[in-house]
Structure 1
């Protein structure tokens, strides 16, 4: 068993080393440090920090997330002298490491849970934009004139027009390979880590283009210069020759103190969040002691600062690769550091042939992932309040610095909650009542459940055994924010692993900020219920609520039609909607759904005649490959379906029901035997518009109990089959 573990860690450590080598070099150069500085940091993280922390699978090393702080520190502290700026920044890093050690002993590790999620994502997106703004010019072989992120972004078109063709060919090809790596079909090539594949292409191109020799070349009437010191990695003559000692002469200046705080706080937050993310990927479910890990990282950063290295964190990309490579324990981090040491000592000549444009491409790719359009969409799905915090943090960070940006995002979050009626003192005071019931422990919230007072709740829940059932009752909580709910969602997984159960209830009278199941929510006063103390849910609402509780879904009894309108925007029934109630809302891995009762006008004129129906909606499902269509007989669907420009695709041996659609080829490919059989067995009519599916039983109210359970089961089965079909198609494309 021990030998197998050693072998697995050794192999995974080697594979991570292949990924880490170019990233360490690239991050160092992008930070204004000598390339060897990134190697020093990773070696310290592997050979020393491994034995100071019990983090089972985390890889310690320099991270792209701290590039923006490092380069700003070098430029601001050194002025026009980059060497001086580098030495002064080393002093800042060493002291920030000491501060991290103190934060670890002060149990700051748990503080990572209280920072607003949208603010943290906004900070990371800003870092991504800063990385792209700086490294895009390196890819093109151009030295920009601008210094600010906005100026550098604006200068990209100019750099495109004045690119160095040989350098740009390497950089752009490397970038294309990084984006195209998931779509490579050749099994052998696909197994190669993307950074290694880039080096296998970029280094030979560097030889072909003779980047190691200073020379000029012409294309047409334009002359271009090749300078090896600008376009290739530069290393010191010996491994120890690169060691640089810090300059502490400006340590007490405002600028130094500012960057000490930024390195310590941002680095600690990133490291804590990354360590938690790595724990979530651990097949054995092991949990890192975040405070101990923070002390270990602080020690590593102090040593790195004293010898010329970058700051380190628990790096998520390399840690993920470590897990995927079969690592069993922390020694894989040690081996990754050992391989880096051996390679830089024994094969420095190879490193000196790596084109900087290839390293810049890797960083641009990393920056794009941090600031991907998908991030904006994800945040927007959670609620406009979260998007505002995200954008504020992003924009202010780009205009000023990370500390000010994060502070602005948090300030906006507090302001939004104050506008919604939350009192400032309530954010700090967590009010709970604990009682025992037949089902288990009940924790009832009153007042506000905020990101600020979450740590009090965390202390409370950590004191409870995880192998029991605990009900969190929010019925009297005036406001619950997204960060609080997201953290609870993470804790639920821990309870499940230990044989317990953590259930959220009491949202029947809350207004959700969006359709997302973890969106912020505020208690909406119901005048009828307020004037009738004995008011209770109807029999139907009670039955639906019980079903939602059993399936761990969110339930809301009475809301205005404005809540359901966004879901129905693609369907003509929207104009006839008068009321919606008894909402059941759920989110799965690849889709979301909602079931509710609606009241709608029956005819197309202004008649007061109305009917009720139970509908289900599936949304946020896979992209592409889902046609617009509706099933069953046309007469079952009201007159409004006539406005659809759909053709009848009549029943056949393979299609036992009528389908109306506007793209026969797409409809035929969509209705697999599994999907067709599933729909044929149920009495539901399905309408699909813009990849959203509206499901109903000939516009009748589905009775509570078994019928509602059947609808829920059908929704899950249908959505799962559609997702499965899309995943299979995506795999074929790859």
Structure 2
């Protein structure tokens, strides 16, 4: 959309796209709040703020923001650790402040510093977390405490556990989950592509609700009671409706953990947003680029408002953004429309929303988790090689483990990626060439473009391995930077070790214009004049061997 276009220039297209995105977002907002262990209303609040506030402030024409599956594991841990939802809202508010700071600090390219293997592993780990967290709702499990403290009895521990599980699951929830999963899977197949304009999530919610109504009408044991359904407050007045919005308990700002979680949410939400913005720009038919820094500021304002009125943390979400483009959106008005529809829906028809089974929402989230952690991703990363697969797999497993979580999991993946990077750097400090003749054995070490202190050990080992009486040429002609530690090792070899072992050493290309860090007391190995004088002392046979090394013919 050009700058001189009105926000309503493409209203006809954007209203329809906003309606479709709303139908996708509604079950996801409820489901993500359910998975996060937060009040369901908080998911709707985040969707409304993400649509109206961020939709208006964002420079992206197609990005749609709201509560995201990628933050579920972090939010679950934060709420459990902080104990009170109103305290957690302080962390959401702080995350918005930190995002604005990141935007002004021009950290819009921050996500580029994370290896793709770690990002893929983080998403896969989040997917696994979502699946595990939703299994109780998917099977209608209502008695976790009854499994605690089981001991070996006459029937054995395994029998007790199996009996405890079967006695506390609701087969009506199991049936609804299986039917809803089947719909979600079939919706991806070719025969159903003709009706893709009808969001699968909406079909799942409708079918799940109708199934439970059928179970109720037949009077069977499969009927799900209120405990297994969405439980939004049904206000009887405007005043009661607005009382559902929660204010943060600002005393939480005194808690260091609140600040810690604020930073964590800001970092993860920013990475997910920047990745989503990048993907959305690639889907843009006009291939426009969105400023990552401007988007961080918009997201930060959105999270401050969401935290102030009782909402979950917000990110740009690729599922809704891609659906927005596919629905024919032309401008950011569609995102704003979807936010308005969410607000109207929760204000006017909460009683209808309370008919939705939690197992139907669990099916949507399990399918979402599967798409994040599908086996094809693991197979692909395995085929790429161990340097990509190991950080990916470790990150995925660590993020999914409750005693590690998202931040520690990503940190562990980064450490492994850095290890492989360092090992790779240590292996390529030079190119090794050896020419043998009847009289001489000449080895050339051609230093790489960048030789850092990480290469010191490798070069030192190589220099110590030369046989007595050999001839060595160390060529730095192509080097742009040689670390001071490496220069000292070469100096030591040239001035002390080589003469004592009868090794003839020639240094080529060691000039005075290398980019040595400021403040280092560097004495270069040889000036150009010294190199010329040294070269004149070479024997004719040595010069001939050097020509052979360089591929010259006489």
1:72 is matched with 77
Question: How is 1:324-473 mapped onto 2 (pairs within 5 angstroms)?
Answer: 324-397=326-399, 398=401, 399-422=403-426, 446-447=449-450
Q: Assess if the C-alpha contact under 8 Å between 2:95 and 2:262 holds in 1.
A: yes
Q: Distance in 1 between matches of 2:346 and 2:386?
A: 49
Contact 2:204-2:360 within 8 A present in 1 as well: yes
- Computed over aligned residues only, the root mean square deviation of the Cα atoms, in angstroms, reads 3.1
In 1, Cα distance between equivalents of 2:249 and 2:31: 24
CA contact (8 A) 1:271 1:313 kept: yes
- How big is the shift at 1:225? 8.7
Judge conservation of contact 1:447–1:476 (CA < 8 Å) in 2. Answer: yes
- Gap change, CA 1:476 and 1:278, over 3 Å in 2: farther
Asked whether the equivalents of residues 253 and 259 of structure 2 are also in contact (C-alpha less than 8 Å), the reply is: yes
Bigger share in helix: 2
Residue 234 of structure 1 corresponds to: 232
What is the aligned partner in structure 2 of residue 207 from structure 1?
213
Structure 2 CA distance for aligned equivalents of residues 530 and 52 of structure 1: 66
Greater Cα radius of gyration, structure 1 or 2 = 2
Cα gap change, 1:124/1:352 in structure 2, threshold over 3 Å: closer, same or farther?
same
Secondary structure (helix, strand or coil) at the match of 1:404 reads: helix
Q: Distance in 1 between matches of 2:344 and 2:12?
A: 19
Provide the TM-score with structure 2 as the length reference. 0.70
CA deviations on 1:54-92 (whole Å, 9 max, x unpaired) are 1111001111110111111111111xxxxxx21111111
Judge conservation of contact 1:140–1:160 (CA < 8 Å) in 2: no
Contact between 1:198 and 1:358, CA under 8 Å: does it hold in 2?
yes
CA shift digits 1:12-38 (9 cap, x unpaired): 011100111111011111111111111
Cα deviation 1:270-306 (Å, max 9, x = unaligned): 1111111111111110111110100110110011011
Query: Are 1:217 and 1:225, in contact at CA under 8 Å, matched by a contact in 2?
Result: yes
SS at match of 1:344: helix
Q: CA deviation at 1:217?
A: 6.4
Give the whole-Å Cα distance in 2 for the aligned partners of 1:533 and 1:144: 78
Check conservation: 1:92, 1:256, Cα contact below 8 A: yes
Taking the aligned partners of 2:125 and 2:162, their CA distance within structure 1 comes to 17
Partner of 1:182: 188
The structure where strand makes up a greater share of residues is: 1
* 1:534 correspondence with 2:542: no
For 2:389 and 2:164, the matched residues in 1 are separated by 32
Partner of 1:48: 53
For structure 2, the 5+ residue unaligned runs are: 146-157, 430-447, 453-477, 482-544
Asked whether the equivalents of residues 303 and 314 of structure 2 are also in contact (C-alpha less than 8 Å), the reply is: yes
Question: Partners in 2 of 1:241 and 1:253 — Cα distance?
Answer: 26
Q: 1:156 to 1:379 in 2, by over 3 A?
A: farther
User: Following superposition of structure 1 onto structure 2, how do residues 497-646 of structure 1 map, counting pairs within 5 Å?
Assistant: 532-535=548-551
Whether 1:115 aligns to 2:119 is no
CA contact (8 A) 1:137 1:144 kept: no
SS at match of 2:290: coil
Equivalent residue of 2:356, what SS? coil
Where structure 1 has 5 or more consecutive residues not aligned to the other structure, the ranges are: 79-84, 147-153, 219-223, 427-444, 450-474, 479-528, 537-734
Residues 305 and 156 of structure 1, relative CA distance in 2, 3 Å threshold = farther
1:540-572 CA deviation, whole Å, 9 max, x = no partner?
xxxxxxxxxxxxxxxxxxxxxxxxxxxxxxxxx
Q: Name the SS for the 1:108 alignment partner.
A: coil
Give the direction of change, closer, same or farther, for the CA distance of 1:122–1:217 in structure 2 (3 Å limit).
same
| 1:688 corresponding residue in structure 2 | none
Does 2:44 correspond to 1:39?
A: yes
Partner of 1:173: 179
Rate the CA distance shift 1:75–1:317 in 2: closer, same or farther, 3 A. Answer: same
Question: Does the 8 Å CA contact 2:27/2:201 hold for their aligned counterparts?
Answer: yes
| Secondary structure of the corresponding residue to residue 450 of structure 2 | strand
Between the aligned partners of 2:93 and 2:358, the Cα distance in structure 1 is: 28
Determine if the alignment matches structure 1 residue 5 to structure 2 residue 21.
Answer: no
1:585-612 Cα deviation digits (max 9, x unpaired): xxxxxxxxxxxxxxxxxxxxxxxxxxxx
Q: Compared with structure 1, are the counterparts of its residues 236 and 31 closer, same or farther at alpha carbon in structure 2 (3 Å cutoff)?
A: farther
Native 8 Å contact 1:140 1:168 kept in 2: yes
1:65-144 alignment, distance < 5 Å = 65-78=70-83, 85-143=84-142
Equivalent residue of 1:109, what SS? coil
Secondary structure, aligned partner of 2:60? coil
* CA-CA distance at 1:354 after TM superposition: 1.1
| Contact 2:67–2:314 (8 Å) recurs in 1 | yes
The answer to whether the 8 A contact 1:279-1:285 is kept is yes
Does the 8 Å CA contact 2:142/2:169 hold for their aligned counterparts?
no
SS at match of 2:397: helix
Shift of 1:382: 2.4
2:191 counterpart SS class: coil
Distance of 2:480 and 2:339 partners within structure 1: 50
Measured after TM superposition, the shift of residue 476 of structure 1 is: 7.8
Deviations 1:346-386 (A, max 9, x none): 22222111111111111111111111111112222322111
> How far did residue 421 of structure 1 move?
3.9
1:309 match: secondary structure: coil
Preserved CA contact (<8 Å) 1:216 1:226: no
- 1:447 is displaced (CA, Å) by 2.4
In structure 1, distance between residues paired with 2:275 and 2:143:
34
The yes-or-no answer on 1:24 pairing with 2:40 is: no
Deviation at 1:116, TM superposition (A): 1.0
Distance 2:130 2:199 in 1: 22
Instruction: Give how far 1:173 is off.
Output: 0.9
Report the count of equivalent residues: 421
Q: Is the 8 Å Cα contact of residues 56 and 286 (structure 1) preserved in structure 2?
A: no
Q: 1:251 to 1:414 in 2, by over 3 A?
A: same
Q: Deviations over 1:603-661 (max 9, x none)?
A: xxxxxxxxxxxxxxxxxxxxxxxxxxxxxxxxxxxxxxxxxxxxxxxxxxxxxxxxxxx
Could you say which residue in structure 2 is the equivalent of 1:654?
none
CA change 1:233–1:327 in 2 (3 A) is same
Q: 1:276 to 1:144 in 2, by over 3 A?
A: farther
